[in-house]
A and B are shown apart, each in its own frame.
Chain A
Amino acid sequence: MAEIQYAAPETVAAAVKALAAGKGRAKVLAGGTDLLVQLRAGRISPDVIVDIKKIPELRKVKKDKGGFRVGAAVSGQELGENADFRADWPGVLEGFELIGSTQVQGRASLGGNLCNGSPAADGVPGLIAAGATVTIAGPKGEREENVEDVVTGPGQTSLKAGEFVVSINLPKRGKRGGDAYLRFIPRTEMDIAVVGAAVSLTLDAKGVCTDARVSLGAVAPRPLLVKAAGKALVGTKVDDAALDALAAAASAACSPIDDKRGTIEFRTKVAGVLARRAALIALERARNNA
């Protein structure tokens, strides 16, 4: 086997060049917690590995237009230490921080969790619910895409050859907004979601929901934005009837796999239950964020 080449560019432009030189046989290395496992299992055999962690902006969390630009290679621990981010987007962090162990949190990135393309990625539903976008760099320059459009199927993304994610962009949280993420696993730690549910919502001064987004993980070939579930809350005070409608819409959106960790029936039911519980946590946070 030919030796794999390694590049550690220090600018986005140089990384684009290095990826282009790989002619579709290049892999991006951020935290490496998925890439190295795949490499060692022989599931991938790239000609070149492009380490993006030497690009300063990929390692920074910046305030931007009242929101945040999170560099694609920022680790879970690094983002978790950002008190401003935690105050605005606790649900995004709840998902990100559930990925793997302490050791994995020291390296794993949101960009990597997204681009790995797992339908069960814990970091992704929170971003979708938050209305986050990604900035993608490539041979044709930069473009922006909604997070819900990035993963197209298990292990598949909308990124074209030579493209990579530079940052994850969170909008302004604003007053009376809150988010939350919950997942079901059969144990307490170190597991892959059987179902994941994220909710982000905003209330007006009277406590009426003006905007809500619901995202589900592990119940379809890719993380889902469930528009009908969000719509069920808008115009309500997030009462029981609205929550029932949200749960029904969440369950209706599921097309999960059937395995020993969770049957279709179980995953479908639990998606509604978790979406409802996540909505109640997001509601509580929104009320406390007046």
Chain B
Amino acid sequence: MSKHHVTTTINGDPTEFLCGTGETLLDALREQLGLTGSKEGCASGDCGACSVMMNGRLVCSCLVLGVEAQGAEIETIEGVAEGENLHPLQKHFLKEAALQCGICTPGFIVAAKALLERNPNPTETEARYWLAGNLCRCTGYDKIIRAVMNAAAEMRGA
């Protein structure tokens, strides 16, 4: 069977790609479209390194078929900064040194951005539970949580 021709919107840009049924959205992003910011950690939905937004919902792109992106609105880590201007989350991740190897970072930033869009003033507990599906094996999480809380405060204008 021939490949599926998928028409979708990624970070606001109309985009098309070809994929087989068994290929994931993550495969399509990384291998067809060169959007390698989303990472493959576990490929089973446990680590969150491949987090993207799909139609306004935070999802693991390793658990979405590429063909399911047909007609969808996808947002990836590549769409988070505005040109040269980093998002407050990105700035605070740098400032707090909330990363070491960096593999988990794109997923954390996409997931944290989704949290702050729903809840601009989360408690630390809420932030930790929201991010429970993003695993980091380097930092021990405290710096990440600090970065998220500080970014939230900055975005609220506090």
What is A's interface to B at a CB cutoff of 8 Å?
Answer: 2-6, 8, 29, 31-33, 36-37, 39-41, 49, 51, 53, 75, 77, 100-104, 106-107, 189-190
Other-chain contact of A100, B62, B65, B133 (Cβ < 8 Å) = B133
When the two chains form their complex, are residues B59 and A4 in contact, meaning their CB atoms are under 8 A apart? no
- The distance in angstroms between the C-alpha atoms of A172 and B134, with both chains bound, is 38
- The distance in angstroms between the C-alpha atoms of A74 and B51, with both chains bound, is 20
What is B's interface to A at a CB cutoff of 8 Å?
Answer: 1, 4, 20-22, 24, 43-46, 48, 51, 54, 57-60, 62-65, 67-68, 70, 111, 114-115, 129-134
- The distance in angstroms between the C-alpha atoms of A103 and B112, with both chains bound, is 11
When the two chains form their complex, are residues B132 and A190 in contact, meaning their CB atoms are under 8 A apart? yes
Considering only CB atoms, which chain B residue lies closest to A7 in the complex? B21
Which residues of the other chain, B, contact A3 by a CB distance below 8 angstroms? 1, 20-22
> Within the complex, what minimum Cβ distance (angstroms) separates A185 from chain B?
12
Other-chain contact of B63, A6, A32, A190 (Cβ < 8 Å) = A32
Other-chain contact of B43, A2, A5, A40, A107 (Cβ < 8 Å) = A40
Other-chain contact of B45, A2, A37, A51, A75 (Cβ < 8 Å) = A37
When the two chains form their complex, are residues B59 and A107 in contact, meaning their CB atoms are under 8 A apart? yes
When the two chains form their complex, are residues B57 and A77 in contact, meaning their CB atoms are under 8 A apart? yes
- The distance in angstroms between the C-alpha atoms of A41 and B131, with both chains bound, is 25
When the two chains form their complex, are residues A106 and B58 in contact, meaning their CB atoms are under 8 A apart? yes
> Within the complex, what minimum Cβ distance (angstroms) separates A253 from chain B?
31
Which residues of the other chain, A, contact B129 by a CB distance below 8 angstroms? 189
- The distance in angstroms between the C-alpha atoms of A93 and B44, with both chains bound, is 24
- The distance in angstroms between the C-alpha atoms of A4 and B65, with both chains bound, is 12
When the two chains form their complex, are residues A103 and B1 in contact, meaning their CB atoms are under 8 A apart? no
Other-chain contact of A102, B21, B43, B111 (Cβ < 8 Å) = B111
- The distance in angstroms between the C-alpha atoms of A75 and B60, with both chains bound, is 14
When the two chains form their complex, are residues A36 and B24 in contact, meaning their CB atoms are under 8 A apart? yes
- The distance in angstroms between the C-alpha atoms of A184 and B83, with both chains bound, is 47
When the two chains form their complex, are residues B64 and A4 in contact, meaning their CB atoms are under 8 A apart? no
Considering only CB atoms, which chain B residue lies closest to A4 in the complex? B21
Which residues of the other chain, A, contact B45 by a CB distance below 8 angstroms? 33, 36-37, 100-101, 103-104
Which residues of the other chain, B, contact A37 by a CB distance below 8 angstroms? 44-45, 63
When the two chains form their complex, are residues B65 and A40 in contact, meaning their CB atoms are under 8 A apart? no
